[in-house]
């Protein structure tokens, strides 16, 4: 994921993300938890959809029962959990 996109999801400036990476500095615990959940979500998404590109495409499509996009929920750890639950339902063929 590009630094800009990651920074937006973690509520950080892109330069901050780059500086943390360059200096091997740790994120605060909340941002770390959020990042770990995103990594897990993308791992599951890649497994289910076959590629990160296909998963990103799915993230930009509305859920079955609303106009809300899965990508819009990734700004919070709780939202990541909701998207992960939806992926789990898809993996087990539970559409609703």
Contact of 71 with 57, CB cutoff 8 Å: no
Predicted structure pTM score: 0.85
Confidence at residue 94, expressed as pLDDT on a 0 to 100 scale: 62
Confidence at residue 3, expressed as pLDDT on a 0 to 100 scale: 78
pLDDT in tens, the chain (96 residues): 777 888 999 999 999 988 998 999 999 999 999 999 999 999 999 999 999 999 999 999 997 777 889 999 999 999 999 999 999 988 887 655
Contact of 93 with 48, CB cutoff 8 Å: no
Which residue range is the domain that position 71 belongs to? 27-91
Contact of 34 with 76, CB cutoff 8 Å: yes
Q: Please report whether residue 3 resides in a domain.
A: no
Considering its fold, how many domains does the chain have in total? 1
Q: Please report whether residue 96 resides in a domain.
A: no
d(CA 96, CA 91): 12
Confidence at residue 73, expressed as pLDDT on a 0 to 100 scale: 93
């Amino acid at each position: 994921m590009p630094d800009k996109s990651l920074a937006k999801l973690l509520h950080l400036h892109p330069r901050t993300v780059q500086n943390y990476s360059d200096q091997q500095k740790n994120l605060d615990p909340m941002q770390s938890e959020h990042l770990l959940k995103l990594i897990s979500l993308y791992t599951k998404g890649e497994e289910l959809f076959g590629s990160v590109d296909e998963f990103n495409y799915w993230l930009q499509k509305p859920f079955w029962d609303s106009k809300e996009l899965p990508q819009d929920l990734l700004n919070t750890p709780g939202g990541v959990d909701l998207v992960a639950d939806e992926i789990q339902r898809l993996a087990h063929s539970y559409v609703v």
